[in-house]
Structure 1
Amino acid sequence: MKIRLIALMSLAGVIALSGCTVGPDYKRPTLDVPLEYRQISKEVEDNAQWLTARWWTQYQDPAIDALVSSAIKNNRTLQQTMSNVEKAAAAVTVARADLFPQLNYQGDAMRQRQSINTAMGEALQGKPFSTKEVLASASWEIDLWGKIRRKTESATATLRSMEAAHKAALSSVITSVVTTYLSILTVDEQLEVAKETANSYYQTYSLFKVRATHGNVSDMEVAQAKSQWQSAKVEIPVLQQSRVELMNSLSILTGVDVGDMPKFKRLRALKVPAIGKGIPSKLLTERPDIVEAEENLKAANADIGAARAMYFPSISLSGGLGFSSEELHDLIKSPSRVWSVGGNITGPIFHWGAVEAGVKQAEAQQKGLVAAYRLAVSQAFADVDNALSKRQKALQELKDRTGLVASLKEYKRLATAQYQEGYTGYFTVLQAEQSLLPQQLQLAQVRANTLSSIASIYQSLGGGWIDLALQEERQAIADLEREEQLKKEIQEASPEEREENSLM
């Protein structure tokens, strides 16, 4: 029996391996993409080594390094996407398992009485009897048309898609931590400017009130000074509320309580990360969202094959071997042996168009994902072009606005000097000061834009830095699992063992 069953299974395996796989094999769609980036020189070298570094460390701010590490370890979004990866990996195992024989065991014990109106019951004269069975069985669906292989192919592509989605989330989280941190430093600088300006305006207002009592300043000038001070004051609570909201956002991203945040640097103290000359030619295989889109397309392509395989019959083999006896002491003796072997074939005849509709549904899904993949590639090139342009324009704006603020400060100095010497009215000073404050606030924002543009470039290009972050995340997960295991062992330990561990 064993030899026959093994021979039958082997023959089925040969048939399955030599069988065809229905449905289209995957081919990457043709893409209409630009040959070069518009915002960079044609003479750049194709060298992407600078994309493999932890770029956020180049700001030379320990707070950024600590916050990024905390986000990699604690971010809830990353925990969700990682669970999706684990789920998809399990689905691959489930799909692949159908390629192999399914082995099962079964045990039964029963006591029953047959009706005396049946042949068996009449022979037993209505007496009850017992049966005991121990069986091992095997079943196998022969993947003659490649349905199971296509389902496995689809599940594998879905797994890769989930892994790419997790990497995309990791990239987004790190970029968000850096840009949110830079926004906080921007608000801090703006608050500093607003407070210093409001304090200066208040001193002017106070001075004018004193001079007005002696008739040296008109009431209108006092009113102008007061309104100027109050205008500067109203900026402060707005900026303070913005900082509260940004700090809470940073806390959510990193899992660090607002009160436990590391010491922040000043915006002007940060170093500007370098951007290498090489733009990678393998952008399409580097960006996680493009990988995700293509793997989704591969999965849909495989689903077409699985749907088309439903047109053809399913063939399966089954066999069983065991013992059956009325008495337990005779159960495993040779005369109690039982066996069975058989085959099954099932195919569609008339399903009211359900099989054809399933194929059309899979094909429509694939067409939609082809469009999604092409859109992802086009969007990737646009993102890179926009990020590079943003960087160039931010540098130019920083240069121009720095010069503008310097000119307005000189204008204010000259206007104040002429007013003090009696050559002009206070309105000229007021005009100069009112022009300076918003430009100082905007200068802080432009300085932050220059720094955050680096993050946009790295995020748009992808690259090996995401893999480095992924390694750090895996290490953090492993460390956390070890800590949890240690806590569990301590909780399960006896009081003596706990005391011994505490002394170690």
Structure 2
Amino acid sequence: MRPIAYSYLICSTLALPLTACMVGPDYARPAAPAAAEFKEVKGWKQASPRDHLLPGAWWEVFDDPQLTALEQQVAAANQSVAQAEAQYRQAQHLVQSAQSSLLPLAMLNGGFNRFKAATGQNVAVSGVRNLFTQSVNIAWEPDLWGRVRRQLEANIDSAQASAANLQALILSSQAALADSYFQMKMLDAQKALLDETLQAYGKNLDITQNRYKAGVVSKADVAQAQTQLETTRAQAMDLGVQRAKLEHAIAVLIGKTPAELSLAADGRTARVPDIPVSLPSELLERRPDIAAAERNMAAANAQIGVAKAAYYPTLNLAATNGFQSSDADSLFTMARRFWSLGPAGAALTLFDGGAKNAQYRQAMAAYDASVAGYRQAVLTGFQEVEDSLAALRILEQEAQAQDQAVAAAGQSLALTLNQYKAGTVGYLDVIITQTAELAGRQTALQLQGQRLAAAVALVKALGGGWHQAQLPDEEAAAGERKWTDYLILPLVD
């Protein structure tokens, strides 16, 4: 065969994958449940008519510098985030591995053989002989039916899903930090309330002791005042245990040991901000967990093509070029050169006991499962937004009613104290009124904490400030490759 014929054969073979088909269904995103508007958003007041989306640094809507400083450390230092980031890089390398399957495999071979032919054989040279060989072998399996390309497609989709999972974990960790932080703030506010109450109870105890010395009240009144004071003091101490646990949790979320973080107590309550709520149709593009479910669904669809390609025949091509000589000195000379095209082979499975059918049906079932998982993720997303909206609306109404109850309890306490000083009521009435007033103020603080927790939950349900456009494209999902990556050497940074 003439060289031009060889060149035509090689070029035609290399062009096969460019013209070959890709079996299996092309991906189209299935329909997902959606609503025209959120049920609980009626009457909701947006933060600004033109600002209906959360910022990337969503915690800034709470206007708390200390929270901002803590949140900025999550993505960089949280160890669960670091683990997810490494898993994303692992997914990128799987994409690179699939890309390499499209290219031929080249191997450099060298050999030495020393032998003696058996007596009586017709050989050109008798006696002991040496045979030196050096060759380059190239083997390639053309991707005729798109098996490798479908696997590459699946790996890219999986890498994008891994990137979305990374963002979902960052958002979840940031929300957990904000929730712990606001719980700690509420405990500080409750501690400040109890400290203030302890001062009032201490004064009441002094007044009661003076009245006892004057013979106005009995010893029982003094004992009741003392009991009330010490019981409240114990409540204030118990808050320290809860606060310590929350502070420790915050430390771990920013990648520190509890001993490395100390947050000063602040008795001021945090403000519940207005959370901008996007349209339900935008929720599918705003939540990283929904994006991950959608990309996993695309990867499962591509795996159907991989399984279907297994039904078709495979073609393997090979070529060898090298030198062979009985003398090492003359090995690399044109006279000792040899080459071969082949062996070329095709294989088609005729019977496998139903294995390929089972694998194909498994791939289709996995896709159906991923579709259901995607739709469930969407439904869960809508539920979480609605839950948070309802909680914020109802808790705000409850807080307004509780504020009125606290004001009424304060007036009742002032009247009862005056009556006690005038000797018209006993100290037990004072205790009952004080207990009710303190419980009302504690309930008000707890409602404030619940509203803050609901606000954080709403931010998380809305996807924070993330958007699907931040997902890596196909090129980014494959990761950066250097020319040294193509060398068969363990060159790793």
Question: Does the aligned pair in 1 maintain the 2:45–2:274 contact within 8 Å?
Answer: no
The range that moved more, 233-242 or 451-460, is: 451-460
Q: Which amino acid aligns with 1:364?
A: A
Q: Among 88, 105, 108, which residue is 2:107 paired with?
A: 105
- Counterpart for residue 356 of structure 1: 357
- Counterpart for residue 376 of structure 2: 375
Report the secondary structure of 2:136's partner residue: strand
Cα 1:354–1:114 change in 2 (3 A) is farther
Q: In the TM superposition, what is the alpha-carbon distance from 1:202 to its structure 2 partner?
A: 4.0
The range that moved more, 35-44 or 368-377, is: 35-44
* Separation in 2, partners of 1:206, 1:188: 27
- Counterpart for residue 71 of structure 1: 74
Cα 1:115–1:323 change in 2 (3 A) is closer
Question: Does the aligned pair in 1 maintain the 2:205–2:222 contact within 8 Å?
Answer: yes
Q: In the TM superposition, what is the alpha-carbon distance from 1:203 to its structure 2 partner?
A: 4.2
- Counterpart for residue 153 of structure 1: 153
What are the equivalent positions in structure 2 for 1:3-402 lying under 5 Å apart? 6-41=7-42, 50-102=53-105, 104-114=106-116, 116=118, 119=121, 125-133=126-134, 135-209=135-209, 211-258=211-258, 261=261, 266=266, 268=268, 270-276=270-276, 278-279=278-279, 281-342=281-342, 343-402=344-403
* Separation in 1, partners of 2:131, 2:78: 61
Cα 1:51–1:377 change in 2 (3 A) is same
- Counterpart for residue 452 of structure 2: 451
Can you give the 5+ residue segments of structure 1 that lack an aligned partner in the other structure?
472-504
Q: In the TM superposition, what is the alpha-carbon distance from 1:100 to its structure 2 partner?
A: 2.5
Q: In the TM superposition, what is the alpha-carbon distance from 1:410 to its structure 2 partner?
A: 1.5
1:296-339, CA deviations, whole angstroms, 9 ceiling, x for partnerless residues? Answer: 11111111111121111111211121222232321221111121
* Separation in 2, partners of 1:198, 1:375: 51
TM-score by length of 2: 0.87
Q: Which amino acid aligns with 1:313?
A: P
Q: In the TM superposition, what is the alpha-carbon distance from 1:206 to its structure 2 partner?
A: 4.9
Question: Does the aligned pair in 2 maintain the 1:297–1:369 contact within 8 Å?
Answer: yes
The range that moved more, 70-79 or 387-396, is: 387-396
* Separation in 2, partners of 1:3, 1:196: 98
Q: In the TM superposition, what is the alpha-carbon distance from 1:124 to its structure 2 partner?
A: 5.0
* Separation in 1, partners of 2:147, 2:90: 22
Question: Does the aligned pair in 2 maintain the 1:401–1:439 contact within 8 Å?
Answer: yes
Report the secondary structure of 2:72's partner residue: helix
The range that moved more, 91-100 or 80-89, is: 91-100
Q: Does 1:437 find its partner at 2:444?
A: no
Question: Does the aligned pair in 1 maintain the 2:195–2:236 contact within 8 Å?
Answer: yes
The range that moved more, 11-20 or 248-257, is: 11-20
Q: In the TM superposition, what is the alpha-carbon distance from 1:468 to its structure 2 partner?
A: 12
* Structure with greater helix percent: 1
Q: In the TM superposition, what is the alpha-carbon distance from 1:18 to its structure 2 partner?
A: 2.5
TM-score by length of 1: 0.85
Question: Does the aligned pair in 2 maintain the 1:146–1:306 contact within 8 Å?
Answer: yes
1:104-145, CA deviations, whole angstroms, 9 ceiling, x for partnerless residues? Answer: 23131424224525837x765441424131x22222211111
* Separation in 1, partners of 2:420, 2:459: 51
Question: Does the aligned pair in 1 maintain the 2:293–2:370 contact within 8 Å?
Answer: yes
Question: Does the aligned pair in 1 maintain the 2:163–2:471 contact within 8 Å?
Answer: no
Q: In the TM superposition, what is the alpha-carbon distance from 1:465 to its structure 2 partner?
A: 4.6
Cα 1:265–1:242 change in 2 (3 A) is closer
Cα 1:7–1:454 change in 2 (3 A) is farther
Question: Does the aligned pair in 1 maintain the 2:191–2:239 contact within 8 Å?
Answer: yes
1:134-192, CA deviations, whole angstroms, 9 ceiling, x for partnerless residues? Answer: x2222221111111111111111101110110111111111112111111111111112
- Counterpart for residue 480 of structure 2: none
Question: Does the aligned pair in 1 maintain the 2:208–2:222 contact within 8 Å?
Answer: yes
Q: Which amino acid aligns with 2:130?
A: F
* Separation in 1, partners of 2:232, 2:43: 48
Report the secondary structure of 2:273's partner residue: coil
* Separation in 2, partners of 1:322, 1:12: 22
Report the secondary structure of 2:189's partner residue: helix
Q: In the TM superposition, what is the alpha-carbon distance from 1:261 to its structure 2 partner?
A: 4.2
Alignment length, in residue pairs?
468
* Separation in 2, partners of 1:2, 1:271: 81
Q: In the TM superposition, what is the alpha-carbon distance from 1:92 to its structure 2 partner?
A: 0.7
Q: Which amino acid aligns with 1:73?
A: A
Report the secondary structure of 2:237's partner residue: helix
* Separation in 2, partners of 1:42, 1:240: 39
1:413-433, CA deviations, whole angstroms, 9 ceiling, x for partnerless residues? Answer: 111111111121212111111
Cα 1:140–1:338 change in 2 (3 A) is same
Cα 1:175–1:157 change in 2 (3 A) is same
1:341-371, CA deviations, whole angstroms, 9 ceiling, x for partnerless residues? Answer: 1212122122111111111211221111111
* Separation in 2, partners of 1:53, 1:468: 13
Report the secondary structure of 1:106's partner residue: strand
* Separation in 1, partners of 2:242, 2:26: 53
